[in-house]
Structure 1
Amino acid sequence: MAIQTQVTTNRPDCTETMCDRQLCRSLVGMSFIKRHRTLQRGDRLSLSEASCRKIWIIVKGMTALCVGLEDGRRQILGLDTRGDTVCGMSTGHQSGAWIEAFCDTVLCELDLQMLTRLGTHDAAGDAGGQLVTDLFGIIHQRLEACSSHLVTLGRMDSTERVTLFLLDMALRIGRSSENGYFVELPMTREDIADYLGLNTETISRIFTRLKKSKLAQFPSRNAFFIPDPAALQRRLPVAVAEPGDTSSLDAFLSTIQPCQVAHKGAGQ
Protein backbone atom coordinates (compact mmCIF):
# COMPACT_ATOMS: atom_id res chain seq x y z
CA MET A 1 0.00 0.00 0.00
CA ALA A 2 1.53 3.29 -1.09
CA ILE A 3 1.10 6.27 1.23
CA GLN A 4 1.75 9.96 0.64
CA THR A 5 1.45 12.25 3.66
CA GLN A 6 1.15 15.99 4.02
CA VAL A 7 0.69 18.07 7.18
CA THR A 8 -1.67 20.77 6.01
CA THR A 9 -2.47 24.17 7.47
CA ASN A 10 -4.85 26.72 6.00
CA ARG A 11 -6.38 24.48 3.35
CA PRO A 12 -5.97 21.25 1.38
CA ASP A 13 -4.79 21.47 -2.23
CA CYS A 14 -8.25 20.71 -3.58
CA THR A 15 -10.32 23.22 -1.55
CA GLU A 16 -11.62 25.38 -4.38
CA THR A 17 -13.35 22.61 -6.32
CA MET A 18 -14.24 20.15 -3.57
CA CYS A 19 -17.97 19.82 -2.99
CA ASP A 20 -19.34 20.79 0.44
CA ARG A 21 -20.12 17.27 1.60
CA GLN A 22 -16.43 16.33 1.42
CA LEU A 23 -15.56 18.60 4.36
CA CYS A 24 -12.66 20.42 2.68
CA ARG A 25 -14.34 23.81 2.56
CA SER A 26 -15.09 23.70 6.26
CA LEU A 27 -11.46 22.80 6.96
CA VAL A 28 -10.10 26.04 5.50
CA GLY A 29 -7.92 27.77 8.09
CA MET A 30 -7.51 24.66 10.25
CA SER A 31 -4.58 22.33 10.82
CA PHE A 32 -4.91 18.68 9.93
CA ILE A 33 -3.02 15.85 8.25
CA LYS A 34 -3.86 14.67 4.75
CA ARG A 35 -2.67 11.41 3.23
CA HIS A 36 -3.32 9.92 -0.17
CA ARG A 37 -3.36 6.14 0.05
CA THR A 38 -3.14 3.83 -2.95
CA LEU A 39 -4.52 0.35 -2.33
CA GLN A 40 -4.67 -2.76 -4.49
CA ARG A 41 -7.34 -5.43 -4.33
CA GLY A 42 -7.22 -7.18 -0.97
CA ASP A 43 -5.27 -4.43 0.80
CA ARG A 44 -6.67 -3.61 4.23
CA LEU A 45 -6.64 -0.39 6.20
CA SER A 46 -7.04 -1.44 9.83
CA LEU A 47 -9.33 0.66 12.02
CA SER A 48 -8.19 1.40 15.55
CA GLU A 49 -9.47 3.57 18.38
CA ALA A 50 -7.91 6.63 16.66
CA SER A 51 -9.86 5.96 13.46
CA CYS A 52 -12.94 7.76 14.79
CA ARG A 53 -11.03 11.01 14.17
CA LYS A 54 -10.38 10.27 10.50
CA ILE A 55 -12.36 10.78 7.30
CA TRP A 56 -11.69 9.00 4.00
CA ILE A 57 -12.87 10.16 0.57
CA ILE A 58 -12.96 7.55 -2.20
CA VAL A 59 -11.17 9.26 -5.08
CA LYS A 60 -11.06 6.13 -7.24
CA GLY A 61 -12.12 2.53 -6.89
CA MET A 62 -14.32 0.63 -4.46
CA THR A 63 -13.96 -0.33 -0.79
CA ALA A 64 -15.83 -2.26 1.86
CA LEU A 65 -16.15 -1.58 5.58
CA CYS A 66 -15.65 -4.97 7.24
CA VAL A 67 -15.62 -6.65 10.63
CA GLY A 68 -14.22 -10.08 11.39
CA LEU A 69 -15.35 -12.73 13.82
CA GLU A 70 -12.93 -14.79 15.90
CA ASP A 71 -13.62 -17.86 13.75
CA GLY A 72 -12.47 -16.02 10.61
CA ARG A 73 -15.83 -15.13 9.14
CA ARG A 74 -16.24 -11.66 7.65
CA GLN A 75 -19.26 -9.37 7.54
CA ILE A 76 -19.25 -6.47 5.10
CA LEU A 77 -21.10 -3.57 6.70
CA GLY A 78 -21.07 -1.19 3.75
CA LEU A 79 -19.81 -0.62 0.20
CA ASP A 80 -18.28 2.69 -0.88
CA THR A 81 -17.46 3.88 -4.38
CA ARG A 82 -16.01 6.93 -6.11
CA GLY A 83 -17.05 10.11 -4.30
CA ASP A 84 -18.32 8.45 -1.11
CA THR A 85 -17.11 9.63 2.29
CA VAL A 86 -16.23 7.08 4.98
CA CYS A 87 -15.92 7.98 8.66
CA GLY A 88 -13.84 5.82 10.98
CA MET A 89 -15.53 3.60 13.52
CA SER A 90 -15.02 4.28 17.22
CA THR A 91 -13.53 0.88 17.94
CA GLY A 92 -11.54 -0.59 20.75
CA HIS A 93 -8.01 -1.93 20.55
CA GLN A 94 -9.24 -5.50 20.07
CA SER A 95 -11.63 -4.67 17.23
CA GLY A 96 -11.30 -6.55 13.96
CA ALA A 97 -12.69 -3.78 11.77
CA TRP A 98 -11.02 -2.66 8.56
CA ILE A 99 -11.49 -0.96 5.19
CA GLU A 100 -10.77 -3.36 2.32
CA ALA A 101 -10.10 -2.47 -1.32
CA PHE A 102 -11.93 -4.46 -4.00
CA CYS A 103 -9.81 -3.05 -6.85
CA ASP A 104 -7.10 -0.44 -7.43
CA THR A 105 -8.26 2.33 -5.12
CA VAL A 106 -7.14 5.81 -4.10
CA LEU A 107 -8.27 7.24 -0.76
CA CYS A 108 -7.84 10.80 0.48
CA GLU A 109 -7.48 10.51 4.25
CA LEU A 110 -8.14 13.51 6.47
CA ASP A 111 -6.81 13.08 9.99
CA LEU A 112 -8.62 15.53 12.30
CA GLN A 113 -6.81 14.53 15.50
CA MET A 114 -5.16 17.94 15.90
CA LEU A 115 -8.57 19.60 15.73
CA THR A 116 -9.98 17.37 18.46
CA ARG A 117 -7.09 18.37 20.72
CA LEU A 118 -7.62 22.09 20.14
CA GLY A 119 -11.38 22.08 19.91
CA THR A 120 -13.04 23.18 16.68
CA HIS A 121 -13.93 26.66 17.97
CA ASP A 122 -10.41 27.37 19.22
CA ALA A 123 -8.95 26.02 15.98
CA ALA A 124 -10.86 28.16 13.54
CA GLY A 125 -13.45 30.35 15.23
CA ASP A 126 -16.88 30.24 13.61
CA ALA A 127 -15.60 27.84 10.96
CA GLY A 128 -15.60 25.14 13.62
CA GLY A 129 -19.38 25.24 13.69
CA GLN A 130 -19.54 24.51 9.97
CA LEU A 131 -17.15 21.60 10.44
CA VAL A 132 -19.39 20.13 13.14
CA THR A 133 -22.40 20.55 10.83
CA ASP A 134 -20.60 18.77 7.99
CA LEU A 135 -19.45 15.97 10.27
CA PHE A 136 -23.00 15.44 11.51
CA GLY A 137 -24.15 15.32 7.89
CA ILE A 138 -21.69 12.54 7.11
CA ILE A 139 -22.59 10.64 10.27
CA HIS A 140 -26.30 10.84 9.44
CA GLN A 141 -25.65 9.54 5.92
CA ARG A 142 -23.70 6.61 7.33
CA LEU A 143 -26.44 5.86 9.89
CA GLU A 144 -29.09 5.92 7.16
CA ALA A 145 -27.05 3.52 5.04
CA CYS A 146 -26.46 1.25 8.04
CA SER A 147 -30.17 1.26 8.95
CA SER A 148 -31.14 0.39 5.37
CA HIS A 149 -28.68 -2.50 5.33
CA LEU A 150 -30.03 -3.78 8.65
CA VAL A 151 -33.53 -3.85 7.15
CA THR A 152 -32.16 -5.72 4.13
CA LEU A 153 -30.47 -8.38 6.27
CA GLY A 154 -33.24 -8.64 8.84
CA ARG A 155 -36.46 -8.51 6.83
CA MET A 156 -35.76 -9.40 3.18
CA ASP A 157 -35.49 -12.92 1.81
CA SER A 158 -32.44 -14.04 -0.17
CA THR A 159 -33.89 -13.23 -3.60
CA GLU A 160 -34.88 -9.73 -2.50
CA ARG A 161 -31.41 -9.11 -1.07
CA VAL A 162 -29.66 -10.10 -4.29
CA THR A 163 -32.14 -8.19 -6.45
CA LEU A 164 -31.69 -5.07 -4.32
CA PHE A 165 -27.90 -5.41 -4.50
CA LEU A 166 -27.85 -5.67 -8.29
CA LEU A 167 -30.16 -2.71 -8.76
CA ASP A 168 -28.26 -0.60 -6.25
CA MET A 169 -24.92 -1.33 -7.95
CA ALA A 170 -26.41 -0.64 -11.37
CA LEU A 171 -27.63 2.79 -10.31
CA ARG A 172 -24.44 3.66 -8.41
CA ILE A 173 -21.64 2.47 -10.68
CA GLY A 174 -23.32 1.18 -13.82
CA ARG A 175 -23.03 2.66 -17.32
CA SER A 176 -26.50 3.55 -18.54
CA SER A 177 -27.75 3.33 -22.12
CA GLU A 178 -31.05 3.10 -23.93
CA ASN A 179 -30.90 -0.67 -23.45
CA GLY A 180 -30.23 -0.71 -19.70
CA TYR A 181 -27.31 -0.67 -17.26
CA PHE A 182 -23.97 -2.45 -17.69
CA VAL A 183 -21.92 -2.94 -14.52
CA GLU A 184 -18.32 -4.02 -14.11
CA LEU A 185 -18.29 -5.21 -10.51
CA PRO A 186 -14.94 -5.80 -8.75
CA MET A 187 -16.51 -8.22 -6.27
CA THR A 188 -16.36 -12.00 -6.09
CA ARG A 189 -19.32 -14.20 -5.20
CA GLU A 190 -17.77 -14.50 -1.72
CA ASP A 191 -17.64 -10.70 -1.36
CA ILE A 192 -21.30 -10.42 -2.32
CA ALA A 193 -22.24 -13.23 0.07
CA ASP A 194 -20.40 -11.56 2.96
CA TYR A 195 -22.26 -8.33 2.25
CA LEU A 196 -25.70 -9.90 1.99
CA GLY A 197 -25.34 -12.46 4.79
CA LEU A 198 -25.73 -15.41 2.41
CA ASN A 199 -23.48 -18.15 1.07
CA THR A 200 -21.91 -18.30 -2.39
CA GLU A 201 -24.13 -21.18 -3.54
CA THR A 202 -27.24 -19.13 -2.81
CA ILE A 203 -25.82 -16.15 -4.71
CA SER A 204 -25.06 -18.29 -7.78
CA ARG A 205 -28.48 -19.98 -7.65
CA ILE A 206 -30.32 -16.63 -7.54
CA PHE A 207 -28.16 -15.23 -10.36
CA THR A 208 -29.18 -18.22 -12.48
CA ARG A 209 -32.85 -17.68 -11.63
CA LEU A 210 -32.67 -13.98 -12.57
CA LYS A 211 -30.91 -14.86 -15.80
CA LYS A 212 -33.61 -17.39 -16.76
CA SER A 213 -36.31 -14.80 -16.06
CA LYS A 214 -34.38 -12.33 -18.28
CA LEU A 215 -34.17 -9.77 -15.49
CA ALA A 216 -30.36 -9.80 -15.59
CA GLN A 217 -27.53 -11.03 -17.79
CA PHE A 218 -24.10 -12.15 -16.60
CA PRO A 219 -21.57 -12.01 -19.46
CA SER A 220 -18.70 -12.74 -17.04
CA ARG A 221 -18.12 -13.39 -13.33
CA ASN A 222 -17.31 -9.72 -12.75
CA ALA A 223 -19.94 -8.04 -14.90
CA PHE A 224 -23.70 -7.99 -15.28
CA PHE A 225 -26.34 -6.21 -17.35
CA ILE A 226 -29.78 -5.02 -16.23
CA PRO A 227 -32.05 -4.49 -19.27
CA ASP A 228 -35.04 -3.17 -17.33
CA PRO A 229 -34.28 -1.63 -13.90
CA ALA A 230 -37.97 -0.92 -13.36
CA ALA A 231 -38.73 -4.65 -13.57
CA LEU A 232 -36.28 -5.31 -10.73
CA GLN A 233 -37.71 -2.43 -8.71
CA ARG A 234 -41.21 -3.92 -8.94
CA ARG A 235 -39.95 -7.03 -7.20
CA LEU A 236 -38.64 -5.11 -4.19
CA PRO A 237 -40.49 -3.92 -1.06
CA VAL A 238 -38.40 -0.72 -0.92
CA ALA A 239 -37.59 1.97 -3.45
CA VAL A 240 -34.00 2.27 -4.68
CA ALA A 241 -33.15 5.91 -5.27
CA GLU A 242 -30.96 6.98 -8.16
CA PRO A 243 -27.83 8.96 -7.23
CA GLY A 244 -28.18 12.74 -7.24
CA ASP A 245 -26.37 15.18 -9.49
CA THR A 246 -22.62 14.58 -9.13
CA SER A 247 -21.35 17.10 -11.70
CA SER A 248 -19.47 19.22 -9.14
CA LEU A 249 -17.97 16.11 -7.58
CA ASP A 250 -16.98 14.74 -10.98
CA ALA A 251 -15.24 18.02 -11.78
CA PHE A 252 -13.23 17.74 -8.59
CA LEU A 253 -12.35 14.08 -8.97
CA SER A 254 -11.19 14.58 -12.56
CA THR A 255 -8.68 17.25 -11.53
CA ILE A 256 -7.43 16.00 -8.17
CA GLN A 257 -3.66 15.59 -7.99
CA PRO A 258 -1.69 13.50 -5.50
CA CYS A 259 -0.42 15.36 -2.44
CA GLN A 260 3.18 16.42 -2.37
CA VAL A 261 5.14 14.06 -0.18
CA ALA A 262 6.07 15.50 3.19
CA HIS A 263 6.94 12.21 4.91
CA LYS A 264 6.58 8.63 3.71
CA GLY A 265 5.65 5.39 5.33
CA ALA A 266 3.18 6.73 7.84
CA GLY A 267 1.41 4.26 10.05
CA GLN A 268 -2.23 3.37 9.95
Structure 2
Amino acid sequence: MYASHLVLSADRATLPPFDLPSEAMTLDCLFAHQPMDKLAVGEALFWEGDMVSNIFQMAEGCLRLYRILPDGRRAIMGFVFAGELLGLSCQGTYRYTAEAITPVRLRRLSRARLNAMGEGAEQLRALLMTRIFEEMSAAQQHIVVLGQLGAEERVAHFLVSATCRTGANLKRPVVVELPMTRQDIADYLGLTVETVCRVLSKFKRDGLIAPEGRHMLVLRRMSSLQDLAGEVDDRALSERPTAVQRPAVWPN
Protein backbone atom coordinates (compact mmCIF):
# COMPACT_ATOMS: atom_id res chain seq x y z
CA MET A 1 0.00 0.00 0.00
CA TYR A 2 2.86 2.32 0.77
CA ALA A 3 5.10 1.44 -2.19
CA SER A 4 6.60 4.27 -4.20
CA HIS A 5 4.72 5.26 -7.37
CA LEU A 6 7.58 7.11 -9.05
CA VAL A 7 8.26 4.33 -11.54
CA LEU A 8 8.36 5.91 -14.99
CA SER A 9 5.21 5.64 -17.05
CA ALA A 10 5.42 3.98 -20.44
CA ASP A 11 3.36 6.76 -22.04
CA ARG A 12 5.27 9.65 -20.49
CA ALA A 13 6.45 10.86 -23.91
CA THR A 14 2.85 11.73 -24.85
CA LEU A 15 2.40 14.09 -21.94
CA PRO A 16 2.75 17.85 -22.43
CA PRO A 17 5.77 19.45 -20.74
CA PHE A 18 5.49 20.60 -17.17
CA ASP A 19 7.98 23.18 -15.91
CA LEU A 20 9.13 22.64 -12.35
CA PRO A 21 10.66 25.50 -10.38
CA SER A 22 14.40 25.15 -9.84
CA GLU A 23 14.30 26.59 -6.31
CA ALA A 24 12.06 26.35 -3.26
CA MET A 25 9.91 23.60 -4.76
CA THR A 26 6.82 22.63 -2.78
CA LEU A 27 4.07 20.13 -3.47
CA ASP A 28 1.71 23.09 -3.92
CA CYS A 29 3.61 23.79 -7.16
CA LEU A 30 2.31 20.54 -8.64
CA PHE A 31 -1.32 21.55 -8.18
CA ALA A 32 -1.13 25.33 -8.55
CA HIS A 33 -2.43 25.38 -12.15
CA GLN A 34 -4.82 22.45 -11.90
CA PRO A 35 -8.56 23.23 -12.11
CA MET A 36 -10.58 23.19 -8.89
CA ASP A 37 -13.17 20.41 -8.48
CA LYS A 38 -16.08 20.53 -6.05
CA LEU A 39 -17.95 17.84 -4.13
CA ALA A 40 -21.26 18.19 -2.33
CA VAL A 41 -21.88 16.65 1.09
CA GLY A 42 -22.23 12.89 0.70
CA GLU A 43 -20.70 12.79 -2.79
CA ALA A 44 -17.91 10.27 -3.40
CA LEU A 45 -14.61 11.34 -4.92
CA PHE A 46 -13.96 7.69 -5.81
CA TRP A 47 -15.23 4.29 -4.71
CA GLU A 48 -13.46 1.30 -3.25
CA GLY A 49 -12.29 -0.81 -6.20
CA ASP A 50 -11.97 2.09 -8.67
CA MET A 51 -8.71 2.22 -10.63
CA VAL A 52 -6.11 4.61 -9.23
CA SER A 53 -5.60 7.36 -11.81
CA ASN A 54 -5.09 10.60 -9.85
CA ILE A 55 -3.68 12.09 -6.69
CA PHE A 56 -5.57 14.89 -4.98
CA GLN A 57 -4.82 17.96 -2.92
CA MET A 58 -7.56 19.15 -0.59
CA ALA A 59 -8.15 22.90 -0.66
CA GLU A 60 -11.21 23.04 1.58
CA GLY A 61 -13.45 20.74 3.56
CA CYS A 62 -13.13 17.19 4.88
CA LEU A 63 -13.35 13.68 3.42
CA ARG A 64 -13.88 10.39 5.22
CA LEU A 65 -12.17 7.26 3.92
CA TYR A 66 -13.97 3.99 4.61
CA ARG A 67 -14.38 0.35 3.65
CA ILE A 68 -17.47 -1.83 3.91
CA LEU A 69 -16.64 -5.16 5.53
CA PRO A 70 -18.16 -8.45 4.27
CA ASP A 71 -20.68 -8.46 7.14
CA GLY A 72 -21.86 -4.96 6.21
CA ARG A 73 -20.04 -3.04 8.94
CA ARG A 74 -18.25 0.18 8.03
CA ALA A 75 -14.60 0.70 8.92
CA ILE A 76 -13.35 4.27 8.63
CA MET A 77 -9.71 4.33 7.55
CA GLY A 78 -9.17 8.03 8.17
CA PHE A 79 -10.10 11.60 7.37
CA VAL A 80 -8.55 14.08 4.93
CA PHE A 81 -8.43 17.77 5.78
CA ALA A 82 -7.58 20.95 3.87
CA GLY A 83 -3.98 21.08 2.68
CA GLU A 84 -3.48 17.31 2.71
CA LEU A 85 -2.80 14.91 -0.17
CA LEU A 86 -4.84 11.83 -1.03
CA GLY A 87 -3.96 8.84 -3.18
CA LEU A 88 -0.19 9.18 -3.21
CA SER A 89 0.44 5.81 -1.58
CA CYS A 90 -2.31 3.93 -3.47
CA GLN A 91 -1.60 1.58 -6.34
CA GLY A 92 -3.75 -0.51 -8.66
CA THR A 93 -7.21 0.11 -7.22
CA TYR A 94 -8.40 2.25 -4.34
CA ARG A 95 -8.86 0.17 -1.18
CA TYR A 96 -11.45 2.52 0.26
CA THR A 97 -14.17 5.00 -0.66
CA ALA A 98 -13.54 8.75 -0.23
CA GLU A 99 -16.75 10.61 0.64
CA ALA A 100 -17.32 14.28 1.37
CA ILE A 101 -18.39 15.06 4.94
CA THR A 102 -18.60 18.79 4.13
CA PRO A 103 -18.61 20.74 0.86
CA VAL A 104 -15.17 20.00 -0.59
CA ARG A 105 -12.90 21.82 -3.03
CA LEU A 106 -9.82 20.01 -4.35
CA ARG A 107 -7.39 19.72 -7.22
CA ARG A 108 -6.34 16.54 -8.98
CA LEU A 109 -3.18 15.51 -10.84
CA SER A 110 -2.90 12.39 -13.00
CA ARG A 111 -0.52 9.66 -11.85
CA ALA A 112 0.93 9.45 -15.37
CA ARG A 113 1.89 13.12 -15.26
CA LEU A 114 3.33 12.73 -11.77
CA ASN A 115 5.47 9.80 -12.91
CA ALA A 116 6.75 11.81 -15.87
CA MET A 117 7.61 14.78 -13.67
CA GLY A 118 9.49 12.54 -11.26
CA GLU A 119 12.12 11.66 -13.85
CA GLY A 120 15.27 13.57 -13.05
CA ALA A 121 13.59 15.75 -10.41
CA GLU A 122 15.33 14.63 -7.25
CA GLN A 123 13.80 17.35 -5.09
CA LEU A 124 10.30 16.36 -6.18
CA ARG A 125 11.01 12.69 -5.55
CA ALA A 126 12.28 13.52 -2.07
CA LEU A 127 9.14 15.54 -1.28
CA LEU A 128 6.86 12.73 -2.44
CA MET A 129 8.78 10.08 -0.53
CA THR A 130 8.59 12.22 2.61
CA ARG A 131 4.79 12.33 2.30
CA ILE A 132 4.65 8.55 1.78
CA PHE A 133 6.79 8.01 4.88
CA GLU A 134 4.47 10.33 6.83
CA GLU A 135 1.49 8.21 5.77
CA MET A 136 3.32 5.06 6.88
CA SER A 137 4.12 6.62 10.24
CA ALA A 138 0.51 7.73 10.74
CA ALA A 139 -0.76 4.24 9.85
CA GLN A 140 1.65 2.62 12.31
CA GLN A 141 0.61 5.04 15.03
CA HIS A 142 -3.06 4.27 14.41
CA ILE A 143 -2.31 0.55 14.83
CA VAL A 144 -0.88 1.35 18.27
CA VAL A 145 -3.92 3.49 19.12
CA LEU A 146 -6.37 0.71 18.20
CA GLY A 147 -4.33 -2.11 19.70
CA GLN A 148 -3.00 -0.67 22.94
CA LEU A 149 -4.97 2.38 24.08
CA GLY A 150 -8.16 2.46 26.09
CA ALA A 151 -11.32 4.32 25.09
CA GLU A 152 -10.44 7.59 26.83
CA GLU A 153 -6.91 7.51 25.42
CA ARG A 154 -8.20 6.87 21.88
CA VAL A 155 -10.66 9.77 22.00
CA ALA A 156 -8.02 12.10 23.48
CA HIS A 157 -5.57 11.06 20.77
CA PHE A 158 -8.17 11.79 18.10
CA LEU A 159 -8.88 15.27 19.48
CA VAL A 160 -5.20 16.21 19.72
CA SER A 161 -4.43 14.79 16.27
CA ALA A 162 -7.38 16.62 14.69
CA THR A 163 -6.14 19.85 16.28
CA CYS A 164 -2.75 19.37 14.63
CA ARG A 165 -4.20 18.57 11.22
CA THR A 166 -7.04 21.08 10.88
CA GLY A 167 -4.93 24.17 11.52
CA ALA A 168 -6.84 25.08 14.67
CA ASN A 169 -5.83 28.27 16.45
CA LEU A 170 -3.45 27.09 19.16
CA LYS A 171 -4.12 29.96 21.55
CA ARG A 172 -5.41 28.57 24.82
CA PRO A 173 -8.11 27.42 25.05
CA VAL A 174 -7.87 25.65 21.70
CA VAL A 175 -10.95 25.63 19.49
CA VAL A 176 -11.22 22.81 16.94
CA GLU A 177 -13.94 22.14 14.37
CA LEU A 178 -14.90 18.49 13.86
CA PRO A 179 -17.41 18.05 11.01
CA MET A 180 -17.66 14.27 11.37
CA THR A 181 -20.40 12.59 13.39
CA ARG A 182 -19.91 10.72 16.65
CA GLN A 183 -20.56 7.54 14.66
CA ASP A 184 -17.74 8.47 12.28
CA ILE A 185 -15.38 8.93 15.22
CA ALA A 186 -16.50 5.63 16.72
CA ASP A 187 -15.94 3.72 13.46
CA TYR A 188 -12.48 5.29 13.14
CA LEU A 189 -11.43 4.49 16.71
CA GLY A 190 -12.91 0.98 16.82
CA LEU A 191 -15.39 1.93 19.53
CA THR A 192 -19.16 2.04 19.82
CA VAL A 193 -20.90 5.37 19.41
CA GLU A 194 -22.21 5.00 22.97
CA THR A 195 -18.63 4.74 24.25
CA VAL A 196 -17.51 7.82 22.31
CA CYS A 197 -20.44 9.83 23.67
CA ARG A 198 -19.74 8.59 27.20
CA VAL A 199 -16.05 9.56 26.99
CA LEU A 200 -16.83 13.02 25.58
CA SER A 201 -19.38 13.56 28.34
CA LYS A 202 -16.76 12.60 30.92
CA PHE A 203 -14.22 14.98 29.34
CA LYS A 204 -16.85 17.71 29.57
CA ARG A 205 -17.57 16.97 33.25
CA ASP A 206 -13.84 16.94 34.00
CA GLY A 207 -13.40 20.35 32.36
CA LEU A 208 -11.17 19.10 29.53
CA ILE A 209 -13.54 20.13 26.74
CA ALA A 210 -16.64 22.23 26.17
CA PRO A 211 -18.97 21.99 23.15
CA GLU A 212 -19.48 25.21 21.24
CA GLY A 213 -21.90 24.91 18.35
CA ARG A 214 -22.72 21.91 16.23
CA HIS A 215 -19.22 21.00 15.04
CA MET A 216 -16.94 22.85 17.43
CA LEU A 217 -15.18 21.83 20.62
CA VAL A 218 -13.17 23.99 22.99
CA LEU A 219 -10.20 22.03 24.35
CA ARG A 220 -9.80 23.73 27.71
CA ARG A 221 -6.97 21.58 29.06
CA MET A 222 -4.82 20.62 26.09
CA SER A 223 -1.95 19.36 28.26
CA SER A 224 -4.25 16.89 30.03
CA LEU A 225 -5.56 15.60 26.69
CA GLN A 226 -1.99 15.25 25.43
CA ASP A 227 -1.04 13.27 28.52
CA LEU A 228 -3.97 10.93 27.87
CA ALA A 229 -3.20 10.68 24.15
CA GLY A 230 0.51 9.96 24.49
CA GLU A 231 3.18 10.41 21.77
CA VAL A 232 1.85 13.86 20.80
CA ASP A 233 3.39 16.97 22.32
CA ASP A 234 3.56 20.70 21.79
CA ARG A 235 6.28 20.22 19.20
CA ALA A 236 3.84 18.25 17.03
CA LEU A 237 1.33 21.06 17.36
CA SER A 238 3.87 23.73 16.40
CA GLU A 239 5.33 21.79 13.47
CA ARG A 240 2.16 21.02 11.52
CA PRO A 241 2.48 21.86 7.78
CA THR A 242 1.61 25.46 7.00
CA ALA A 243 -0.57 24.28 4.12
CA VAL A 244 -3.25 23.04 6.51
CA GLN A 245 -3.71 26.42 8.15
CA ARG A 246 -6.31 27.47 5.60
CA PRO A 247 -9.78 27.48 7.18
CA ALA A 248 -12.16 24.70 6.25
CA VAL A 249 -15.83 25.33 5.59
CA TRP A 250 -18.31 23.19 7.46
CA PRO A 251 -22.03 22.96 6.69
CA ASN A 252 -24.49 24.88 8.86
* Corresponding residue to 2:138 among 134, 145, 165: 145
Deviations 1:58-88 (A, max 9, x none): 1111112222212322222222211111225
Task: Provide TM-score, normalisation by structure 2.
Answer: 0.76
Q: Is the 8 A contact 1:180 1:228 kept in 2?
A: yes
Alignment of 1:66-85 (within 5 A): 66-85=66-85
RMSD of Structure 2 on Structure 1 (CA) = 3.4
How far apart, in 2, do the equivalents of 1:141 and 1:178 lie? 26
Alpha-carbon spacing, 1:137–1:48, altered in 2? closer, same or farther (3 Å): farther
Shift, 1:236, TM fit: 3.0
* Corresponding residue to 2:191 among 194, 198, 203: 198
Q: Is the 8 A contact 2:56 2:107 kept in 1?
A: yes
Deviations 1:200-232 (A, max 9, x none): 101110011111111111234422111121121
Equivalent residue of 2:67, what SS?
Answer: strand
Q: Is the 8 A contact 1:54 1:87 kept in 2?
A: yes
How far apart, in 1, do the equivalents of 2:49 and 2:151 lie? 33
How far apart, in 2, do the equivalents of 1:195 and 1:15 lie? 39
Shift, 1:162, TM fit: 0.4
Structure 1's unaligned 5+ residue stretches are 1-6, 28-32, 255-268
Alignment of 1:201-212 (within 5 A): 201-212=194-205
Deviations 1:115-138 (A, max 9, x none): 65x6953xxxx23x4443332222
Equivalent residue of 1:20, what SS?
Answer: coil
> How many residues matched?
230
Structure 2's unaligned 5+ residue stretches are 1-13, 248-252
Q: Is the 8 A contact 1:23 1:134 kept in 2?
A: no
Match of 2:11 in 1: none
How far apart, in 2, do the equivalents of 1:79 and 1:238 lie? 20
Shift, 1:170, TM fit: 2.6
**In the alignment, is residue 242 of structure 1 matched against residue 248 of structure 2?**
no
2:58 partner letter: I
How far apart, in 2, do the equivalents of 1:133 and 1:218 lie? 41
Equivalent residue of 2:72, what SS?
Answer: coil
* Between 107-116 and 36-45, the greater mean CA deviation after superposition: 107-116
Match of 1:20 in 2: 26
How far apart, in 1, do the equivalents of 2:109 and 2:204 lie? 43
Equivalent residue of 2:212, what SS?
Answer: strand
Alignment of 1:116-155 (within 5 A): 116=115, 120-121=118-119, 126-127=120-121, 129-155=122-148
1:90 partner letter: Q
Quote the sequence identity (%).
Answer: 26
How far apart, in 2, do the equivalents of 1:196 and 1:211 lie? 19
Q: Is the 8 A contact 2:44 2:98 kept in 1?
A: yes
